[in-house]
C-alpha cells in the first residue's frame, strides 16, 4: 500500500482523473493502475539487491578457486554417504557395523599454524579455515550399540616431550539396545578411570579411528563444507535475481 500511495502521488491528481471511470454515477480508479505498478516492481531490483548480486558473483569466483569437482566416496575403509549437512561413514569390522556420524554445520574455525612453510600474508592474518566436527562412533552388534561421542581437541600445542598426542577425545559413551533415547544412561569420558579410557581409545583405534583417520575426516569435512558453502552462494544469487 505504501508503494501504491507513492505511485498515485507521482501520477498527480490530473493524471489520476484521466485514469478513472464512472459507473452508475460512482467514480472509481481504473483497475489497470495497480497492474501497471505491480509489473514495474516485478521487473526491478533494489540497489541493495544489485549490490548483493555483484558481491555474490565475485565471492563465488574467489571461493571456487581450488575447489574439487567431487567429494571423496571413501575415507580409509569407510564408505561415505551424505545428505546436505549430514554425513555418515560406514564399514564392516568382523561381525560389527561401525558408523561415524557428523554434521558440518557450525564446524569451521580458523586454525593458525605458526611454523607452517610458505604461508601467505593473508593466511598469516586469517589462519586456515578448517572444519572439525564433533562426531559419533556407533559400534553395532546385533540389536546392541556402543556409542562414543567424540570431539576434536582444539587449540592444542604439541608437547615435544610426548611422542604421541591424541587429536580427539571421548566426551561420552553409552551402551543400549534399539534406539538411543532420553532414558539411556551415558557416562562422561572425563570421569572414566584413566586406564579404562585408554582401553576405549585402543578399541576405537582397532576399528580404524586413529589420529591419521581423524585428520582425514577433518580434511574431508573441510572440503565438503566448502562445497556446500559455494552451493549456497550460487543458490542465493539465483534467488535474488529471480523474477
**Percentage of residues in the chain having pLDDT higher than 70:** 70
Q: Chain centroid to CA 216: how far?
A: 18
Q: What is the pLDDT of residue 208?
A: 95
Which 3-state string (H, E, C) describes the chain? CHHHHHHHHHHHHHHHHHCEEEECCEEEECCHHHHHHHHHHHHCCCHHHHHHHHHHHHHHHHHHCCCCCCCCCEECCEEEEEECCEEEEEEEECCEEEEEEEECCCCEEEECCCCCCCCCHHHHHHCEEEECCCEEEEEEECCEEEEEEEEECCCCCCCCCCCCCCCEEEEEEEEEECCCCCCCCCEEHHHCCHHHHHHHHHHHHHCCCCHHHHHHHHHHHHHHHHHHHHHHHHHHHHHHHCC
CB 152 within 8 A of CB 218: yes
pLDDT for 30 beyond 70: no
CB 190 within 8 A of CB 173: no
Q: What is the pLDDT of residue 5?
A: 38
- pLDDT bin (cut points 50, 70, 90) of residue 151 is very high
pLDDT for 233 beyond 90: yes
pLDDT for 47 beyond 50: yes
Task: Look up residue 203 and give its three cell numbers.
Answer: 578399541
How far are the Cα atoms of 55, 113, 243 from residue 48, in angstroms, in the given order? Answer: 11, 38, 16
Smallest Cα–Cα separation from 124: which of 132, 114, 138?
A: 114
- What is the mean pLDDT of the segment spanning 182-197? 95
Encode pLDDT of 76-102 as tens digits.
999 999 999 999 999 999 999 999 999
pLDDT for 37 beyond 80: no
Residues 72-81 as b or e (16 or more Cβ within 10 Å = b): eeebeebebe
- Domains observed in the chain: 2-44 (no CATH), 74-234 (3.10.280.10)
CA distance 137 to 150: 8
Q: What is the pLDDT of residue 207?
A: 96
Q: Highest mean pLDDT range out of 106-120, 161-175, 196-210?
A: 196-210
CA distance 50 to 77: 47
HSE value, Cβ hemisphere, 13 Å, CA-based, for 105: 6
Residue bearing the bigger pLDDT, 149 or 38: 149
pLDDT for 25 beyond 70: no
- What is the mean pLDDT of the segment spanning 146-156? 88
Which of 10-19, 59-68, 80-89 has the least mean pLDDT? 10-19
Amino acid at each position: 500500500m505504501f508503494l501504491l500511495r507513492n505511485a498515485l502521488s507521482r501520477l498527480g491528481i490530473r493524471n489520476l482523473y484521466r485514469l478513472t471511470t464512472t459507473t452508475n454515477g460512482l467514480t472509481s480508479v481504473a483497475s489497470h493502475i495497480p497492474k501497471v505498478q505491480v509489473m514495474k516492481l516485478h521487473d526491478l531490483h533494489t540497489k541493495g539487491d544489485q549490490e548483493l548480486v555483484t558481491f555474490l558473483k565475485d565471492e563465488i569466483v574467489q571461493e571456487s578457486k581450488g575447489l574439487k569437482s567431487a567429494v571423496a566416496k571413501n575415507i580409509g575403509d569407510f564408505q561415505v554417504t551424505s545428505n546436505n549437512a549430514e554425513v555418515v561413514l560406514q564399514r564392516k569390522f568382523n561381525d560389527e557395523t561401525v558408523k561415524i556420524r557428523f554434521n558440518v554445520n557450525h564446524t569451521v574455525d580458523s586454525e593458525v599454524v605458526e611454523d607452517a612453510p610458505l604461508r601467505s600474508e593473508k593466511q598469516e592474518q586469517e589462519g586456515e579455515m578448517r572444519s572439525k566436527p564433533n562426531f559419533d562412533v556407533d559400534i553395532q552388534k546385533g540389536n546392541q550399540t556402543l556409542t562414543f561421542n567424540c570431539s576434536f581437541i582444539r587449540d592444542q600445542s604439541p608437547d615435544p616431550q610426548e611422542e604421541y598426542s591424541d587429536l580427539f577425545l571421548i566426551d561420552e559413551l553409552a551402551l543400549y539396545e534399539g534406539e538411543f533415547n532420553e532414558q539411556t544412561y551415558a557416562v562422561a569420558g572425563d570421569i572414566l578411570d584413566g586406564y579404562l579410557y585408554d582401553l576405549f581409545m585402543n578399541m576405537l583405534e582397532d576399528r580404524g579411528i586413529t589420529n591419521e583417520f581423524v585428520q582425514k575426516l577433518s580434511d574431508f569435512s573441510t572440503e565438503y563444507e566448502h562445497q556446500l558453502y559455494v552451493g549456497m552462494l550460487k543458490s542465493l544469487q539465483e534467488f535474488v535475481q529471480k523474477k
